[in-house]
């Protein structure tokens, strides 16, 4: 009992000593709130760093990522140049052609329902220093005012946008990246610059040579009426993600299809199994047999190896077999 009383007395003495030391430091009274606020310095100014993929708005349901630098290292300079040349043959304007030659990574965001119209955002990350838009064709946009982090925005002058798929706006993230925005996506990208990246934007894995992220949406009513089976299939799928990687034997595809429920995933699995098991052309039968399909609850996983000879044939514009 005496030990307990001594412990309580010691604790009380410590508390009293702390209070006695604290009161003189406080000047005998608590400081007023105004004085406290006056002594608190302003916090550091936070400048949000905009990453290249942040410029892709969520209304683009398909995003494809191409690792051009890894492609050069894995396939060789000649093969990479060939692929780039084919892409440039179909480039809609000179802005994409110039930026693509400097890119290490390319993101392409598309809206599947408007694929033919060409609504898109192309983001290219790489060595963009010195890549300035032609001032006769492009004018600085006031959209860049108030955006931190060395962001510059340019709009095409006059009536330069002839087609819906043409680049109507260029967004430059310093020397790191450039985004080419079609007319229909100008307002969406401006919103992303102002408010920050969309939470549900497409986000392909930063792996492999090519990766994609598709957030499935309902088909337009006109297509749904024409293709009811496809409508039912798409309606059961929530998301598709895939990565194509270089392997010793060729190119390996790993894909994951997430259904809205196990039944939706099952419809996708059965559809793929029918495609795999009913190929009549002997040139492709062995290739299709290599496709592995398995379902776990509402996820369907695919693994597929494209042999090196087939990949080389595609690169050389030949036909397999």
Range of the domain at 235: 216-321
Which residue, 159, 181, 207, sits at the end of a domain? 207
192 and 73 within one domain: yes
**Same-domain pairing of 110 and 220:** no
Map residue 70 onto helix, strand or coil.
helix
| Number of domains into which the chain is organized | 3
Domain end, chosen from 207, 230, 257, is at 207
Query: Are residues 85 and 166 located together in one domain of the fold?
Result: yes
List, for residues 98-121, the tens digit of each pLDDT value: 888 888 999 999 988 777 777 899
Q: In sequence order, what DSSP letters do the residues of 128-196 get, joined into one string?
A: -TT----TTTEEE-GGGTT--SSEEEEEE-TT---STTSEEEEEEETTTEEEEEEGGGHHHHHHHHHH-
CA 13, CA 10: separation in Å to the nearest integer? 5
Q: Are residues 74 and 197 in the same domain?
A: yes
Which ranges of the chain would DSSP assign to H, the alpha helix? Answer: 2-25, 33-39, 68-75, 77-89, 94-100, 186-195, 221-226, 228-235, 262-277, 282-289, 308-315
Q: Is 122 left (phi over 0), alpha (psi -120 to 50) or beta?
A: beta
- Residue 17 sits in the same domain as residue 100: no
For residues 175 and 251, membership in a common domain is answered with: no
Question: Could you say which of 207, 224, 243 is where a domain stops?
Answer: 207
Residues paired with residue 212 on neighbouring β-strands, in sequence order: 64, 242
Q: Are 68 and 195 found together in one domain?
A: yes
CA atoms within 13 A of residue 212's CA, in its CB half-sphere? 19
Res 125: pLDDT: 94
Q: List, for residues 195-206, the tens digit of each pLDDT value.
A: 999 999 999 999
User: Are residue 154 and residue 129 in the same domain, yes or no?
Assistant: yes
Residues 158 and 76 in one domain: yes
**pLDDT by 10s per residue, the chain, length 321:** 443 344 333 333 333 333 232 333 333 333 343 433 444 444 444 456 889 999 999 999 999 999 989 888 877 777 776 676 665 555 556 777 788 888 899 999 998 877 777 789 999 999 998 888 888 889 998 887 767 668 899 998 877 666 777 889 999 998 999 999 998 899 999 999 989 999 999 999 999 999 999 998 777 677 677 777 877 888 899 999 999 998 888 889 999 999 999 999 999 999 999 999 998 888 788 888 899 999 999 999 999 998 877 777 766 654 444
Report pLDDT for 167.
87
Mark whether 24 and 162 lie in a shared domain: no
- pTM (two decimals): 0.77
Same domain, yes or no, for 303 and 283? yes
Q: What is the DSSP letter of 121?
A: E
Spatial separation of the C-alpha atoms in residues 259 and 233, rounded to whole Å: 10
Residues 30 and 167 in one domain: no
């Amino acid at each position: 009992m005496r030990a307990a009383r001594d412990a309580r007395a010691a604790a009380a003495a410590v508390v009293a000593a702390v209070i006695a030391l604290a009161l003189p430091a406080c000047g005998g009274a608590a400081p007023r709130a105004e004085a406290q606020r006056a002594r608190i310095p302003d916090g550091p100014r936070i400048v949000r760093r905009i990453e290249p993929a942040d410029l892709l708005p969520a209304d683009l349901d398909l995003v494809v990522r191409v690792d051009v630098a890894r492609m050069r290292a894995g396939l060789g300079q000649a093969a990479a140049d060939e692929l780039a040349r084919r892409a440039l043959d179909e480039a809609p304007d000179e802005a994409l052609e110039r930026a693509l030659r400097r890119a290490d990574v390319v993101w392409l965001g598309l809206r599947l329902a408007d694929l033919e119209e060409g609504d898109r955002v192309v983001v290219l990350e790489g060595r963009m220093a010195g890549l300035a838009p032609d001032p006769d064709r492009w004018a600085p946009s006031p959209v860049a005012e108030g955006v931190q982090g060395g962001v510059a925005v340019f709009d095409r002058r006059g009536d330069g946008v002839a087609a819906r798929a043409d680049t109507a706006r260029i967004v430059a993230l310093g020397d790191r990246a450039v985004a080419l925005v079609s007319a229909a996506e100008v307002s969406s990208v401006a919103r992303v610059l102002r408010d920050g990246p969309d939470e549900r934007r497409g986000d392909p894995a930063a792996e492999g040579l090519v990766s994609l992220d598709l957030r499935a949406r309902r088909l337009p009513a006109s297509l749904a009426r024409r293709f009811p089976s496809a409508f039912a299939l798409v309606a059961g799928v929530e998301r598709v993600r895939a990565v194509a990687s270089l392997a010793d034997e060729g190119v390996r595809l790993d894909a994951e299809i997430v259904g809205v429920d196990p039944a939706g995933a099952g419809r996708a699995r059965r559809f793929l199994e029918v495609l795999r098991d009913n190929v009549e052309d002997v040139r492709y039968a062995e290739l299709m047999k290599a496709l592995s399909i398995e379902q776990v609850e509402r996820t369907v996983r695919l693994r597929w190896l494209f042999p090196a000879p087939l990949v080389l044939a595609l690169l050389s514009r030949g036909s397999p077999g």
